[in-house]
Structure 1
Amino acid sequence: MRPMARAASALAFTLAAGKAAAQSPCTEETRFDPPLRVLRCSDGLVLETEQGSGLRPIDRDGDGHLEGAEIGGRSVLVTLPPGPRVRREGFQILTPHAIASVRGTVYAVDVTTGRTSVFVQQGRVVVARRRGADDAVTLGPGEGVDVDMDRSPLAVRRWPQERVRALLERFGR
């Protein structure tokens, strides 16, 4: 495993929540090998994003706990340990193509112009199209799905080790 260089920010992350801004119990750090932005929250949620991913945390009720995040491109690795808040509320990653909802897991979301790919390392993730979420699928460990703009049914597949390795290496794993 490569040594990890990083710079931590002790400042609390400020999030827009409706009309007001809330102080989140999340801190942000930057890693340089590989270059990642890491958001760590007090409830155990960790979002690792590639530089330039355009991640926008979502805190709709302003309570300082994230309900989700929107990502326009690149990749995000989500680590969300199980717990009471997670079981009750879950967490969502929104992309232009898909919604990935979780209740406690480790998973990666990779966004390109034409598609969103979701891979689950641990736990379970429900994935649906962003528009027309009626054909949702549930992914388990080692499974992934590619969501594009067409309307063909979502196909859950066991991802080949090379594809998994290529994605996770982008996060230094």
Structure 2
Amino acid sequence: MIGLVALAGLVLAGLVPADARAQAGPQTGAGAGCTTRLLPDPPRRGFVCPGGLVFEAEAAAALGIALPAGEAPVTQIDLERGGAYVEDGSGPHHPFQIRTPHAIASVRGTVWAVDVGEESTAVFVRSGRVAVAHVGTPSDTVLLGPGEGVDVAPGLPLEVQTWGAARVSGLMARFAR
């Protein structure tokens, strides 16, 4: 059975800004055995989860983590707004995805970022491979490699593009990279 834990802005009952929660020091037990900590400049929250999943979420990001029963690794993050930077070291036998209002990004063992806006979701791959599909039409899927990104918006085709240095730098700066 999968449950949903409240983290970095997504509360089981609804969305609240991440900064509305208490901003304490390092924490453990954030669901599925994930450890969380606050990261400065720019403000964001870091997560280290069982199975090799490491990710960061912007301070204002609204997200939830889908938790499988027992000690199984995290299989899904629901990102409603804001950005997340992911280093998924869980390996090829552990399915993992980020779902946004516009896209589903599935991956195994890679480094990538997702940025959710009101009208679209952007996905960028730093290393490895990420499959990206429109929500509701998973048959319309593109595969991104290093340096590639895609903007996902309702009704628009998925077009893989090599992102320019300015766009990559702007997104990575949000995660101090």
- TM-score (norm. length: structure 2): 0.82
Q: Distance in 1 between matches of 2:71 and 2:105?
A: 22
2:29 to 12, 20, 25: 12
SS of 2:167 mapped into structure 1:
helix
In structure 2, stretches of 5+ residues that fail to align are 1-22
How far residue 153 of structure 1 moved from its aligned partner, in angstroms, is 2.2
**RMSD of aligned alpha carbons:** 1.6
Q: Does 1:65 align with 2:73?
A: yes
Q: Distance in 2 between matches of 1:7 and 1:64?
A: 27
How far residue 10 of structure 1 moved from its aligned partner, in angstroms, is 3.6
SS of 2:34 mapped into structure 1:
strand
State the percentage of identical aligned residues. Answer: 42
The equivalent of 1:103 in structure 2 is 108
Q: Does 1:45 align with 2:62?
A: no
In structure 1, stretches of 5+ residues that fail to align are 1-5, 15-23
Q: Does 1:161 align with 2:162?
A: no
Question: Which runs of structure 2 are paired with 1:106-121 in the superposition (5 Å)?
Answer: 106-121=111-126
How far residue 92 of structure 1 moved from its aligned partner, in angstroms, is 0.2
Q: Does 1:145 align with 2:116?
A: no
* Contact 1:25 1:64 survives alignment (8 Å): no
Q: Distance in 1 between matches of 2:70 and 2:162?
A: 38
* Contact 2:50 2:74 survives alignment (8 Å): no
**1:22-73 deviation line (CA, Å, top 9, x unaligned):** xx22101011211001111132211100012111011133434200100100
SS of 1:33 mapped into structure 2:
coil
SS of 2:93 mapped into structure 1:
helix
Question: Which runs of structure 2 are paired with 1:16-95 in the superposition (5 Å)?
Answer: 24-81=32-89, 83=90, 86-95=91-100
SS of 1:168 mapped into structure 2:
helix
